[in-house]
Every structure is written in C-alpha cells, then in structure tokens.
Chains A and B, each alone.
Chain A
Amino acid sequence: MARFEFSERALDTLALQESLTDRACGGYASFEGWVRDFNDGRQVARLEYEAYALLAVKEGERIVAEAIERFGVTHARCVHRIGNLPLGELAVWVGVSSPHRGEAFAACRYIIDEVKHRVPIWKKEHYLDGDSGWVNCERCAAAPATTAAGTHDHHDHAHEHHDHDETLAPTAIGVHAPGLPQPDYSRQQVLPEVGAAGQARLRAARVLVIGAGGLGTPVLSYLAGAGIGTLGVIDGDVLDASNLHRQTLYALADVGRPKALLAAERLRALNPEVDVRAYVQRADAEQLPALAAGFDVLVDCSDNFRTRFLVNDVAVRLGKPAVIASVYQYEGQLQVLTPSSACLRCIWPDGAHDGLVGNCAEAGVLGPVAGVLGSMQALEVLKLLLGLDSPAIGAVVLVDLRTLETRRLRAPRAAGCDAGACMRLPSATAVAMELEVELDLSAEGTIADWTMVDLRELTETVASPLALAHLHLPLAQLLADPARLPPGPRYLLVCARGQRSRGAAEALRAAGRDGIWSLRGGLAAQPRR
C-alpha cells in the first residue's frame, strides 16, 4: 500500500479508511479537502490539478513517514487527486490510525500542512466567467482549522499564512503555468553527491538568512537557485545607493525600499518554487530564538558583532548549525558551526565589540569580496544539507583576496564545552530565550506552526475540552518521560493557567531540549468567543 499517491479517479473514502483499520488502533482521524466555489473574490466553476509526479510522490512519502515517526502513529496515508475536478469533489484525503486520538489528530494535521507546503502540485482554477488561472498550491501552506473527518478545506489564497510574517505584503501567489519555463536543477543534480535524493533534501530544507546585504544577497540567490524549500530573510534596513556595488540583487530604482521585501520579490521571480519568508526587522534577542526554531540552518550575513554573536548563541542553544562570515576591505573570515564544533565564543571568549574594527561603511570593501565570502557561505549551506563534510567546521577560514591566500585555522572547543553545551553563553538576560508565547489560539492559522501539547489532567480536559488538534500528555507523564515529545516540531505546551506549562518548558529547556514553549496565561487567558 503506497503511503502517498496520486489518483486520476474519484476517491473511495470507505475503502481508504478500511485500509487503515487495525485492532491495535483505537483512534482514526481523517482530513478531506474539497473543491470550493469561491476563491480570491472570484466564482470558481471547476479545478484542474497537475503534479510533478516523480518528485511529488517521493516528497509525499517522506512527509507521511515523518508523521509516523514523529507522532508514533500506527498507519498513515494520503491520496491527492489530479485531473479535472468539479465543485464539491474530494481533492485530497489524509487518514491516520493510532492507539489514541491525540497523535492521530496531530499526525493528520502535520501531513496535510506539509503536503500543501512541500509537494509540488499545481492547481488551475476555471472561473464562471470563462477565464482561468494557475495557482501554486505550495505557497498556500494551509492554515484552515483542523481536523475532524469531513472538515472543509478553506484553501484561502488572499494572504500569506505565516502568522509571524506580518511584514510580508500580501502579494500574488506564484503563478506558474505549464508552458512557462520550469525550474531545472539538472546541472547540480547530475553531481553524484546531489542526485534526486540530494535535490529532495534541498527542497525539504528551511534556511534562515540574517542580513540581506553584501553577504546575504549571493547567499540568497544561490540558495533560491538551488531549490531550497523555504528561505527566510531578516533585514530591517532599507536599500541605500551605497549598497549597490556589492548587493547584486537590487537596482538603483529600489533605493529607499526595505531590503527584505525586495529580496523576497527577486527570489520569488528567480524561483517560484521557493517559499520565501521576509521579515522586515533587526534580528533581536526577543524574537530570533522563536523564529530560528522553525529553520534547519542559520546563515549569519549581518554587519555587526552584536547580531553575529546573537546568531551564534541562538544556534548553540537550539543545537542548529550556522554558517558565519564577515568581510573587511579585501579579506574575509568564514566559520561553520555545528552542535559538536567550536562556536564563536570558543574563539572569542570575551565577545567582540562594535566600533573596535570597521564595518563596510567605515573600513571600506570591494564589492566582489563580499560576493566571494557570500558565495562560500551558500556553498557551505549546501554541503551541510547534502551531508558533505567541510574543513570549515570547527575552524576559521581566513581568505585574503589581495594575495589570494587562504588559511584554515583549526579551532578546538573551549575546555568545558564538550558536554554539548557552550559554557560561555551569556546569561539568559543577554539572550532572552523566551519560554512563553502569547497567542490567540482561535485566530486562523495561529497553531499551524505548532504542535500543541495539553498538560492538563484527564478530569480537566473532560470538563473543558480543547477543540484544536493536540497531544494530551499530563504534566507528570511528560516530566517522567520527556522523550514522549520527539524532537522536531515546535511544541506549544498548554495548561489551565500557564503555570504547569511554564514549569515544564523550563525543565525541558534546562535538560537541553529546544523548540518548546509555554502558552502564556494558559487557556484561561484565551479571549472568549
């Protein structure tokens, strides 16, 4: 039985459900997405779906396998229609069976969200007025309320769904019709180290680039071209004419516009398959940890020590790899950190202070110097994602582009840092690793990025049930066996008043777990509707 497949014929949900039955399973959850008659202000008459079957099936199977592993469910399956679909027709079906309902709901939601996000499926809408248009479903990372069997798939397009992504203008969805040129990764895929499997890894990857300047623009261009699935870009600056000698994504006419938005626009044009998320803000200790938790690799392309050390500290705390570079006149420094290598604080135990040595504005830089170092960063990211070893891990690579000399200096971990945690990270006040988040759970899309865990006792949950998809794991059980939450998703712990969840998040963080937050004020603080 294929766990993910496409079907040209109408789906038989009873037969599908039947295929998941198991005596060991006491819970079954399913999701159905239906063809709706209205989208983006237009009356829709019917839909047409197309997929890159070869890539799509592999990615779909990977998603279902991830869900089974993450949530520990027994069976899971997803079928997506292709071809012409009339109104009301079932377009996508997800089913999950497991011993208990909590995991079944969570896995079901995970599968539909990831399928919409990652699987290359194209949708053509035929409108009542005779017109038609292609819509890339990938951009429509679904945020509909989940997920009892038979819930409608709202599939609403007039927005970007990422709740933390408010700065992103609601631009047109990547219209990407067959007949127009398609992204083609053949020149990299022919490399034995890449191949179809490597390409799928790049597609599944989420990379956060901090800074869209001289280093960031080549990093972003190459990563978008390589087909990285999700690219986040943080930059709080607007474009200045003095940036253009080294920031090759931009044009003179763009001066005065926010660089993060400009970069996102150019990258979407370069490769509509990439989900680009723009954050017009400076990377700060308040927000970066929560934001970075949703990405696999951090790339520091900032122009100041404060941000560079913040990225370092967040990467170390979250156990994520980071690729760090900086430039000065004709030279640059490159360093790749992984959870087992030296970090910036092994090398610079006292930190470094802005103003001590110049940045590009003060000391000057030739444009291609930033280009070379940024290109090296992009390459290091690809190597990390493809599982290729790099001499830049656990070392600082010094590049002098005037003499064309490259030096690699091995950087041992500082004594006391080999237990998996850096001994020199500043105290929690310097890097506020916020334990609590304030969320309105009833707002559409709020919990799309979270896996919710209800820590209340059974009697409480019966008296006041939680309508949203979640895992149920009373506090004592969680603390007795934290492995019940497998690493991977971002967990939102909830309880009645936010005290148990805060304590649990604190305990888990102290035990070295990342990606765990507590809902501030608990369910009692939620607005009543």
Chain B
Amino acid sequence: MTSIEVQYYALLREQAGVSRERVDTPATTPAALYEELQARYGFTLARAQLRVAINGEFADWNAVLPLGAEVVFIPPVAGG
C-alpha cells in the first residue's frame, strides 16, 4: 500500500465531495488509482476525458506512482 495525496478539480471535486484527500492504495499507476476512486465515488467522466499530473507535471496514465506522490486529476472546463 502506498499513501498518495490526491486532488480533484471541477466535476470530480463535486462528485468526490472533497478537493483533496490522502488515499492509501495498492495502485501503482494513475490509471489503477483512478479506477479505484471511480468505483468509490461513481465518477461519471471516463479516464480518456481527463488528464493526470504527478508531482506538478502532466504524466502518462501508465507512469509509475512514486512513493508519497501528489496526484491531480483534471477535467477540461469550458465556462467563460
């Protein structure tokens, strides 16, 4: 299990009900982590519609989550 700091934006924040939380997870990639959280919160956005950043930089869904990583899930937003 790894302890990951997760941040949510926009629709994900609404659906998770929090803007950040610490998650203990067996996931080793952001893809697996999103899958786990999607099951927990019922996120309606598919992974392909999001981007993920690890430690302040946009990253690949199959990147390896480093120990104590800070992960941000970002959907695009449209309003203006």
Report which A residues bind B (CB closer than 8 A). Answer: 211, 213-216, 300-305, 308, 325-329, 331-333, 347-348, 350, 352-354, 356-360, 363, 365, 370, 396, 398, 400, 402-403, 405, 407-412
CB neighbours (8 Å) of B79 from chain A are 214, 303, 326-328, 358-360, 363, 365, 370
Interface string of B23-56 (1 = CB under 8 A from A): 0000000000000000000000100110101001
A396 partner, pick from B48, B74, B78, beta carbons under 8 A? B74
Q: A356-B49, A357-B10 are in contact. Are A348 and B76 (CB under 8 A)?
A: yes
Q: How far is the CA of A325 from the CA of B45 in the complex (A)?
A: 21
CB-contacts of B3-35 with A (<8 A)? 7, 9-11, 13-14, 19
Contact B53 A357 (CB under 8 A): no
Contact indicator A303/B78 (Cβ below 8 Å): yes
- Residues of B near A331 (CB, < 8 A) are 9-10, 13, 77
Docked-complex contact B78 and A370, CB < 8 angstroms: no
B1 vs chain A, min Cβ distance (A): 25
Query: Does the CB pair A409–B80 fall under 8 Å?
Result: no
CB A195 to nearest CB in B, in angstroms, measures 33
A357 touches B45 (CB 8 A): yes
Choice from A302, A347, A357, A409 contacting B56 with Cβ under 8 Å: A409
B10: A residues at CB distance < 8 A: 328-329, 331, 357
Chain B: how many interface residues by the 8 Å CB criterion?
23
The answer, yes or no, to whether B72 is at the interface (CB within 8 Å) is yes
**Which chain A residues border B58 with CB–CB below 8 Å?**
347, 396, 409-412
CB <8 Å contact, A400 and B80: no
On whether A403 and B19 interact (CB within 8 A), knowing A409-B56, A409-B58, A410-B56, the answer reads: yes
Cβ contact within 8 Å between B57 and A412: yes
**Cβ of A354: which chain B residues have Cβ within 8 Å of it?**
78
Given contacts A352-B78, A407-B72, 14 further A-B contacts (CB under 8 A): A303-B79, A326-B76, A328-B11, A328-B77, A328-B78, A332-B77, A356-B45, A357-B77, A358-B79, A359-B78, A359-B79, A396-B58, A403-B19, A410-B57
Max chain A Cβ within 10 angstroms of own Cβ: one of B13, B77, B78: B78
Closest to B77 in A: A328
| Chain A residues within an 8 Å CB radius of B78 | 303-305, 308, 326, 328, 352, 354, 357-359
A215 near B74: Cβ-Cβ < 8 Å: no
In-complex Cβ contact of A398 among B14, B49, B72 (8 A) = B72
Chain B residues within an 8 Å CB radius of A410:
56-58
Q: Are B80 and A216 in contact (CB under 8 A)?
A: yes
Q: Can you name the residue of chain B whose Cβ is closest to the Cβ of A352?
A: B76
CB atoms of A407 and B77 under 8 A apart: no
Smallest CB separation, A187 vs chain B (Å): 29
**A302 to B48 alpha-carbon distance, docked (Å):** 23
Give the nearest-CB partner of B70 in chain A: A407
What is the bound-complex CA distance between A302 and B10, given in angstroms? Answer: 18
B residues in contact with A409, CB < 8 Å: 53, 56-58, 72, 74
- B7: chain A residues at CB < 8 Å are 407
CA distance A412 to B60 in the complex (A): 11
Contacts of B49 in A (CB 8 A): 352-353, 356
Q: Cα distance A216–B76 when bound, in Å?
A: 19
